[in-house]
Amino acid sequence: MKKIIPSLLLAFSFSASAAVEQLPIIQTKYTADPAPMVHNDTIFLYTSHDEDDANGYGFKMQDWLLYTSTDMVNWTEHGPVASLKDFKWCQRDNGAWAIQVIERNGKFYMYCPLHGNGIGVLVSDSPYGPFKDPIGKPLVWQKEHWNDIDPTVMIDDDGQAYMYWGNPELYYVKLNEDMISYSGGINKFDKAPLHYQEGPWLFKRDNRYYLAFASTCCPEGIGYAMSDKPTGPWETKGYIMRPTERTRGNHPGIIEYKGKDYVFGHSYDVLRLLTPDHHERRSVNAAEMKYNADGTIQEVPYWKDVVLTSVKPFDPYQRVEAETMAWGFGLKTIPNGVRNMSVTNVDNGEYICLRDVDFGKKGAKKFSASVASKKGNATIKVRIDSKDGKVIGELPISSTGSDDVYKLYTCKLEKVKGIHDLYLTFEGNGEGLFNFDYWSMKK
């Protein structure tokens, strides 16, 4: 994902009040099948992962990723939290399709389709993992077909948990309290709800049950059905997002967060910045969603046409991981120690944008960044409001001797007050200027 055309990116740059277009929320990797979960005031966004070299119409998917946010616009990458290798009974090296994670009694259960080998389950004591296979076999696997994909799990108010899944058929089981076994056999709907294709997302709101889904392929929109029981019958009510030629696939994940409702899905809009050719390299999108008084859902325009707003300003007076961003097209990430990542592939002209950064009443005096650079001779410019906006600080980066040896560099900042989008723009000679671990500001 290299070589940005600056004139193109101008059209996509963010400003404090509005973005010209709302592009996918993750850019450093290709992500699909969003499965958001709210826990302790944080959004944990689990995704599947399209590899950068997936070509044509074939999926190349080996692990599952985690991103977190507390404001809906700036996302921190945590890297892979589970992979096909976590299932010893499955010898596949491709097929890590759409997951969902749900918490019960302090444990986090990840339901994973291993395309062609049924659905497995992993468990962890933390939403960050590590996730382990507690049963050593598939949770469900109907070997006569490959329909067992896209699990979604909901725990009802009476404690009964349900897992739905399937493409193009729709199935469910009643999970036992242990969340790793089920009772009563597999139930198959004689007829899936109208427009149902795949990617079910089961949830309850105000005593109404909802089944959102990717609608009949292709292109897929996001449809939804409602019922007064968790087991149906389901009546399709319409589209949350109409199918459009602007994307081919879609896949819903729905949450309520800090009083607002959001639908997540995916598109090819990051890939489209690079090529009109089709490859299964998707990117997760999100948009605010609204309910009507009768519980039906208002249609959401295409992802690009509605701008996400942050639910709270971003605090720069803390250690901020460099892999926290609203926009970082062209950049990549690498592991850096245990449960830590760095931004890499930093080329001249690239930048990180964080939206709605709160400099406070007085403004920041200093900017520090932890950077490793063999090459040196680079600069991080601290700008506000746009990637070509006012420079409030310049941080020269000299060689640290190696791209693995990190050093903390500090520069003065011209004080600016209030809330601004922050742009860290990178300048130097060519490509691979440095690796970037974290930054912070001081008042």
Q: Which chain residues interact with ligand FUB by CB under 6 A?
A: 32-33, 48, 59, 97-98, 149-150, 198-199, 214, 249, 251
CB of 399 to ligand FUB, least distance (A): 42
**Whole-number minimum distance, CB 118 to ligand FUB, in Å?**
13
Q: State in angstroms the smallest separation of the CB of 404 from ligand FUB.
A: 34
Neighbours of 362 (CB within 10 A): 10
Give the H or E element holding residue 441: strand 435-442
Question: For residues 118 and 199, which CB has a smaller minimum distance to ligand FUB in the complex?
Answer: 199
Name the DSSP letter for residue 42.
E
Contact predicate 262/3, CB 8 Å: no
Q: What's 273's DSSP letter?
A: G
Min CB(308)–ligand FUB separation in Å: 21
Taking the complex as a whole, how short is the minimal distance between the CB of residue 217 and ligand FUB, in angstroms?
9
CA nearest neighbour of 244 among 279, 228, 268, 263? 268
CB of 151 to ligand FUB, least distance (A): 10
> What is the C-alpha separation between 69 and 177, in angstroms, rounded?
30
Q: Could you list the beta-strand ranges (E) of 206-339.
A: 208-215, 222-227, 235-241, 253-257, 260-267, 283-289, 320-321, 324-325, 332-335
CA distances from 241 to 65, 102, 149 (A): 25, 25, 22
DSSP H helices, 275-384, are none
Q: What is the CA radius of gyration of the chain?
A: 22
Nearer CB in complex with ligand FUB: 169/358: 169
Nearest to ligand FUB of 249, 393 (CB atom) = 249
Tell me the residue nearest to ligand FUB as measured from the CB. 97
Nearer residue to ligand FUB within complex by CB, 90 or 346: 90
Q: To the nearest 10°, the Cα dihedral for 319, 322, 328, 332?
A: -160
Question: In this complex, which beta carbon is closest to ligand FUB, that of residue 46 or of residue 423?
Answer: 46
Name the residue nearer to ligand FUB (CB basis): 149 or 202. Answer: 149
Task: Tell me how many helices (H) and strands (E) the chain has.
Answer: 1, 29
Q: State which residue, 266 or 355, has the beta carbon closest to ligand FUB.
A: 266
Q: In the chain, what's the furthest Cα-to-Cα distance?
A: 67
Write out the DSSP string of 304-352: GGS----SS-B--SS-EETTEESB-TT-EEEE-STT-EEEE---TT-EE
Of 216 and 345, which CB lies nearer to ligand FUB in the complex structure?
216
SS3 of residue 305 by DSSP: helix
- Residue 45 beta carbon to ligand FUB: minimum distance, rounded to whole angstroms: 15
What is the smallest separation between the CB atom of 65 and ligand FUB, expressed in angstroms?
Answer: 12
Name the helix (H) or strand (E) containing 8. Answer: helix 6-10
In angstroms, give the least distance from the CB of 195 to ligand FUB. 14
Return the number of the residue (244 or 309) whose C-beta is nearest ligand FUB. Answer: 244
Both tokens assigned to 20:
């010209």
